């Protein structure tokens, strides 16, 4: 009887120790998972900043041409035949096409944080959409450029002031 008792106690002790070990392994796995997520978020944040630096560096020389007129330029009132509009198409819109296509791919592969980037690129993206839609027309813009930046348009489209222009709602020119 005593042998059975001690055998049962030994089985119980082994079960408790196995449960404790499994619990500690579970806690360790949760901690490792949390660290991996934090590292991934940190990497995404770093890549986002690297993209902003790359974006600014690529456009540094080009933006000097439009910088004096940037604040005063309104694509909706400038007219497609104006010198300012042609300057902004050549020096603002066209150089940004490839950069926004690249950004769309980075977001698609979850390499950057689109919310952080939107905060820094909101003004540029608005002007890019406005100039592109006025230059190419809404349907052509959506077919040619919109297809390449579809994720950006989905994520940022409802937040940009030019969404009405892009998606066909009438805009007042006052």
In a domain, 15, yes or no: no
User: Any long-range contacts for 159-167 (C-beta under 8 Å, 24+ apart)?
Assistant: 159/118, 159/122, 160/122, 160/125, 160/126, 160/129, 161/126, 162/126, 162/129, 162/130, 162/133, 163/129, 165/76, 165/129, 165/130, 165/133, 165/134, 165/138, 166/129, 166/133, 166/138, 166/141, 166/142, 167/138
In a domain, 4, yes or no: no
Specify the pLDDT at position 162: 67
* 161 neighbors 119 (Cβ within 8 angstroms): no
Residues sharing a CB contact under 8 Å with residue 76, sequence separation 6 or more, in sequence order:
130, 134, 165, 171, 173
In a domain, 26, yes or no: no
In a domain, 173, yes or no: no
pLDDT at position 65 over 80: no
Number of domains in the chain: 1
In a domain, 30, yes or no: no
In a domain, 71, yes or no: yes
In a domain, 60, yes or no: yes
> Rounded to whole angstroms, how far apart are CA atoms 136 and 78?
15
Domain that holds residue 102: 38-167
In a domain, 161, yes or no: yes
pTM for the full predicted model? 0.72
Structure tokens at 30: 């949760």
If you write DSSP's letter for every residue of 42-71 in order, what string do you get?
A: HHHHHHHHHHHHHHHHHHHHHHHHHHHHHT
**Model confidence at 148, in pLDDT bands (50, 70, 90)?**
very high
**Model confidence at 156, in pLDDT bands (50, 70, 90)?**
confident
Please classify residue 117 by burial: count the beta carbons closer than 10 Å to its beta carbon, then call 0-12 exposed, 13-18 middle and 19+ buried. Answer: buried
> Rounded to whole angstroms, how far apart are CA atoms 132 and 126?
10
What is the torsional sign of CA 55, 61, 66, 71? Answer: positive
**Model confidence at 41, in pLDDT bands (50, 70, 90)?**
confident
């Amino acid at each position: 009887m005593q042998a059975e008792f001690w055998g049962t106690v030994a089985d119980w002790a082994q079960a408790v120790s196995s449960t404790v070990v499994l619990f500690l392994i579970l806690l360790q796995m949760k901690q490792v998972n949390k660290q991996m997520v934090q590292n991934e978020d940190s990497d995404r944040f770093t890549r986002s900043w690297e993209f902003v630096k790359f974006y600014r560096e690529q456009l540094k020389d080009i933006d000097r041409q439009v910088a004096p007129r940037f604040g005063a330029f309104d694509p909706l009132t400038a007219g497609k035949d104006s010198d300012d509009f042609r300057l902004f198409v050549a020096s603002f819109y066209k150089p940004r096409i490839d950069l926004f296509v690249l950004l769309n791919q980075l977001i698609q592969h979850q390499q950057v944080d689109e919310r952080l980037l939107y905060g820094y690129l909101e003004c540029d993206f608005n002007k890019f959409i406005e100039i592109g839609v006025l230059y190419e027309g809404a349907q052509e813009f959506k077919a040619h450029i919109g297809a390449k930046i579809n994720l950006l348009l989905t994520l940022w489209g409802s937040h940009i002031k030019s969404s009405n222009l892009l998606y066909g709602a009438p805009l007042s020119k006052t």
